[in-house]
Structure 1
Amino acid sequence: MDASPLTTARPGARLALAAPRVSLSASHGIPGRAGRTVAALGARAEVHGICDEAGSALYADLVDSDMQEIRAVLRAVLQVDGPVLDLAAGVGRLTVPLLALRREVTALDVSRDALRGLAGRLLKAPAPLRERCAMVQADMAGFALGRLFGAVVLAGCSVALLDETGRVGLYGSVRDHLAPGGRFLVSTVDHGALPLPPEVGTEVHAPSGRTYRMYEYWEPDAPTWTLTALPKDRRRGQVTVCTTTQRVLCPGQLEAELERAGFVVAARTQVTEHGYRQPLVLLDARVA
């Protein structure tokens, strides 16, 4: 168990972290204090990505506690008519709230495990809500669904999962699926906008009642950043660790890419509290 406790002044409070390195094999390649925590767990650590069954379940529980982006996306979707396409839908963090708006929603994800988790979640929902959802296993870097949507949503900074070539394919596919007047709502992290240390930690209380410790690691000017989460209570048994390393894609670069792909960015909104984390920014783009 980690000997030095993580102090929180309030829910979501961040703190600076610094300490010696451990071997990449022991830490599973996870940097910083998160890696040292995983290394200390030894064989008890079960490390997963965000797309497999165990990792996607933990990640979904973790991000369900953050309503700020969800509220921002729902406000934007309410301004347009028609069905919604939820890209990188995962287990339904946004899919279910979008369905609650009485919209038809297509949830697209490359992970069969994630969509299986969404299906299980929908089984607990009222039948009318469940019947408005279609699920598609496909790569968001290139898809053809044969219909148009009033809004296409790509939240959770998942756009950064794609390399430059993948993003070009994404933008073309989105453009081909937007109805006239439709909106592409896409979020990304504005790394470097705040003078934060390389690693910051948060104690997250999820709606499930579980408490997690989440670490975000980014060295200034580095091309990638790493998010790692694991349960606060690690005293016994196997410990599920969820980690993902993503590309840094700042809002200015994303906006420039969208404009080159034939979009115009109509709005750019910071959706997280000032000073709470490296800011999450939501871009609202339309076909030019």
Structure 2
Amino acid sequence: MRQDEIWTDEAARHYDTPGEGMFAAETLEPTVDRLVELADGGPALEFAVGTGRVAVPLSRRGVPVTGIELSRPMVAQLRTKASEDEIAVVVGDMATATAPGAYRLVYLVYNTISNLLSQAEQVACFRNAARHLAPGGRFLVELEVPQLRTLPPGQPATVFHADDSYVGLDAYDLLAQQLVSYHFRIDHQGQVSLFRSPHRYIWPSEMDLMAQLAGFELESRHADWSGAEFTAESTSHISVYRLPA
């Protein structure tokens, strides 16, 4: 599946969940706080800006934000919240598209780098971030740690959430280092809808090598946006890479 086949008009219309999930204040506010700190008064560029979940509140905190986004329907949804003057968006692939200017911070949140389905594309994304940064600039990536230990022996998939209105499962292809997330939603009439998204998962050590190939050094890694210690039990990480000054 191509990304433009996934992030359709329908997906964009249902993407935002104000006040809930990844739009909940307890998730979003620490994210924006950390990005304001890292931007350090300079402009920021968001790869895969989507509907502006992070870009809009970051812009309202005084950080000039530009975005790169492949999906025109997602950009259209962003435009209901912020004008081009407020958040400029370049329509294109985050691994190759170019935004004007030099930035203090490039960031990529909520596992979006895994939407690039080959190692070569992911390395190109790191290099694209480096091209956009001023000397000493930072590239932040938020990413889950692959949860392969949760796979039952001999089984290709694991359920990561289940309740009366939503069931989510991940199906793994271990040889290709890929997974497909299946999101089943059940409405109040019992009707079921399915949304699928493919990913290439990345181990932290592999991501560090991608960063080195692009000229970055690892500056910090934490388990979450609050700065918790990253350990062997962490299920996600916030990694910050920096270019030499």
Band the TM-score falls in, shorter-chain normalisation:
0.7 to 0.9
Distance in structure 1 (CA, Å) of the matches to 2:159 and 2:28: 20
C-alpha displacement at 1:232, in angstroms?
3.5
TM-score, normalised by the number of residues in structure 2: 0.78
Gaps in structure 1 of 5+ consecutive residues: 1-28, 30-47, 124-129, 205-210
Gaps in structure 2 of 5+ consecutive residues: none
8 Å Cα contact 2:170/2:181 also seen in 1 = yes
Residue in structure 2 matching 1:137, options 88, 91, 94: 91
Query: Where does residue 266 of structure 1 map in the other structure?
Result: 219
Task: Say which SS state the counterpart of residue 122 (structure 1) adopts.
Answer: coil
Aligned residue runs from structure 1 range 117-156, under 5 A: 117-122=77-82, 131-156=85-110
* Counterpart AA for 2:48: A
TM-score, normalised by the number of residues in structure 1: 0.68
- Is 1:189 matched with 2:144? yes
- Is 1:171 matched with 2:130? no
Residue in structure 1 matching 2:22, options 47, 55, 63: 63
Query: Where does residue 76 of structure 2 map in the other structure?
Result: 116
Distance in structure 1 (CA, Å) of the matches to 2:63 and 2:85: 11
Query: Where does residue 56 of structure 2 map in the other structure?
Result: 96
C-alpha displacement at 1:200, in angstroms?
2.5
* Counterpart AA for 2:7: C
Structure number, greater radius of gyration: 1
Distance in structure 2 (CA, Å) of the matches to 1:249 and 1:73: 24
Query: Where does residue 53 of structure 1 map in the other structure?
Result: 9
8 Å Cα contact 2:172/2:180 also seen in 1 = no
Distance in structure 2 (CA, Å) of the matches to 1:67 and 1:265: 27
* Counterpart AA for 1:113: P
C-alpha displacement at 1:151, in angstroms?
0.8
- Is 1:161 matched with 2:121? no
Q: Structure 1 pair 49/269, CA: closer, same or farther in 2 (3 Å)?
A: farther
Query: Where does residue 196 of structure 2 map in the other structure?
Result: 243
Distance in structure 1 (CA, Å) of the matches to 2:50 and 2:16: 8
Distance in structure 2 (CA, Å) of the matches to 1:69 and 1:269: 16
Task: Say which SS state the counterpart of residue 257 (structure 1) adopts.
Answer: helix
Give aligned-pair identity as a percent: 22
C-alpha displacement at 1:266, in angstroms?
0.5
Distance in structure 2 (CA, Å) of the matches to 1:203 and 1:214: 4
Task: Say which SS state the counterpart of residue 91 (structure 1) adopts.
Answer: coil
Distance in structure 1 (CA, Å) of the matches to 2:122 and 2:173: 23
* Counterpart AA for 2:209: A
- Is 1:82 matched with 2:47? no
Task: Say which SS state the counterpart of residue 14 (structure 2) adopts.
Answer: helix
* Counterpart AA for 1:134: A
Q: Structure 1 pair 91/219, CA: closer, same or farther in 2 (3 Å)?
A: same
Root-mean-square deviation (Å) = 3.2
C-alpha displacement at 1:228, in angstroms?
2.7
8 Å Cα contact 1:201/1:213 also seen in 2 = no
Task: Say which SS state the counterpart of residue 150 (structure 1) adopts.
Answer: strand
C-alpha displacement at 1:234, in angstroms?
5.1
Number of residue pairs the alignment of both structures matches: 227
